[in-house]
């Protein structure tokens, strides 16, 4: 079966997203006090959710734990029982919800919110490599015959055949909201370099006041190494992709800025560089690659 299907100019993996769910997304209701985490796949979604959840719990704004927050609300993976957008309907406000949808397919209320939207972006080379490793593990765990090789994944990603469509269309679609005060834009690379600063920005954006000791504790518990350890020990379904026959697959892969150098060929890197210049020149959007 073909892995991808096209929907209104973007590609989706039929194993995790359905056309029926996408049809319902434009009118999906975002509550006024929702906190929306918005990312391209493999750009730091679950990491950001952990941070936001810990901040909101510490501030007394929610009792929900990050492990109880379902997959992205357009996701329809059967092992979770219901689509994400159905599961979160039962969650008390204020909710943390997240999506990978491009701007033109997302709920209309995300683009004109009364709540808060945190957008995290990651450089395309590391995103492509992380996506490749994710797909390989997904296929191995589910027993699906592999349709993924690095060369194919790299070529598809460069041509916009990737979950939620072309990387640059996705990034630039949301980048147009950068002046909206309801949006906070963060770079994955900046979070890796200075997590304390990123947490501070999220705290201020969410109107959360915490003492320095509590804030430092959250920063320390949300470092990449700390989360990899805690998620591995937890062994729960929410922070793994699937639990099947005692096996699990984590969302955190390497997370190192510049890890793409261990996978890309020179020709692939040059092709990605050319598209990067073509798509982003004059937009004000730039990424660090190491």
* Residue 100 annotated as catalytic: yes
Sheet holding 35-39, edge to edge: 96-99, 35-39, 116-121, 183-187
Name the token pair of 184.
């906070």
The pLDDT score that the predictor gives to residue 31 is 92
Distance (Å, whole) CA 5 – CA 13: 7
The pLDDT score that the predictor gives to residue 141 is 64
Among residues 188, 187, 130, 184, the alpha carbon closest in space to that of 157 is found at 130
Report the chain's mean pLDDT, rounded to a whole number.
86
Per-residue pLDDT in tens (0 to 9) along the chain, 290 residues: 467 899 999 999 887 888 999 999 999 989 999 999 999 999 998 899 999 999 999 999 998 888 777 778 888 766 666 777 888 888 889 999 999 999 999 999 888 778 899 999 999 999 999 999 888 877 666 666 556 799 999 999 999 999 999 999 999 999 999 999 999 999 999 999 999 999 999 999 999 999 999 999 999 999 977 877 776 555 444 444 443 332 334 455 557 899 999 999 999 999 999 999 999 999 999 999 99
User: Going by C-beta distance under 8 Å and a sequence separation of 6 or more, which residues neighbour residue 43?
Assistant: 120, 121, 122, 127, 188
Tokens 């026959």, residue?
245
Residue of 85, 98, 100, 170 marked active site: 100
CATH numbers and ranges of domains, the chain: 4-280 (3.40.50.300)
The pLDDT score that the predictor gives to residue 218 is 96
The pLDDT score that the predictor gives to residue 115 is 86
Q: State the number of CA atoms in the 13 A half-sphere of 251 facing the CB.
A: 23
């Amino acid at each position: 079966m073909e892995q991808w299907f096209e929907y209104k100019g973007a590609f989706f993996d039929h194993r995790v997203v359905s056309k029926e769910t996408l049809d319902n997304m434009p009118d999906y209701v975002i509550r006024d006090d929702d906190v929306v985490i918005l990312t391209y796949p493999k750009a730091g979604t679950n990491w950001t959710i952990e941070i936001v959840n810990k901040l909101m719990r510490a501030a007394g704004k929610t009792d929900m734990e990050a492990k109880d927050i379902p997959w992205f609300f357009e996701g329809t993976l059967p092992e979770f029982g219901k689509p994400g957008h159905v599961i979160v309907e039962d969650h008390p406000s204020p909710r943390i919800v997240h999506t990978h949808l491009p701007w033109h397919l997302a709920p209309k209320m995300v683009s004109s919110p009364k709540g808060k939207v945190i957008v995290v972006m990651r450089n395309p080379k590391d995103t492509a490599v992380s996506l490749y490793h994710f797909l390989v593990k997904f296929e191995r765990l589910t027993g699906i015959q592999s349709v993924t090789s690095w060369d194919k994944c790299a070529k598809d990603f460069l041509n916009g055949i990737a979950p939620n469509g072309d990387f640059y269309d996705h990034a630039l679609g949301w980048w147009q909201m950068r002046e909206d005060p309801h949006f906070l834009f963060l770079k994955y690379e900046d979070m890796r370099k200075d997590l304390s600063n990123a947490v501070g920005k999220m705290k201020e954006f969410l109107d959360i006041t915490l003492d320095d000791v509590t804030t430092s504790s959250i920063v320390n518990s949300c470092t990449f190494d700390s989360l990899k350890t805690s998620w591995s020990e937890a062994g729960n379904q929410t922070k793994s992709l699937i639990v099947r026959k005692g096996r699990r697959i984590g969302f955190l892969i390497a997370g190192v800025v510049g890890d793409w150098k261990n996978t890309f060929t020179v020709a692939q890197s040059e092709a990605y560089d050319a598209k990067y210049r073509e798509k982003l020149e004059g937009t004000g959007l730039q990424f660090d690659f190491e």
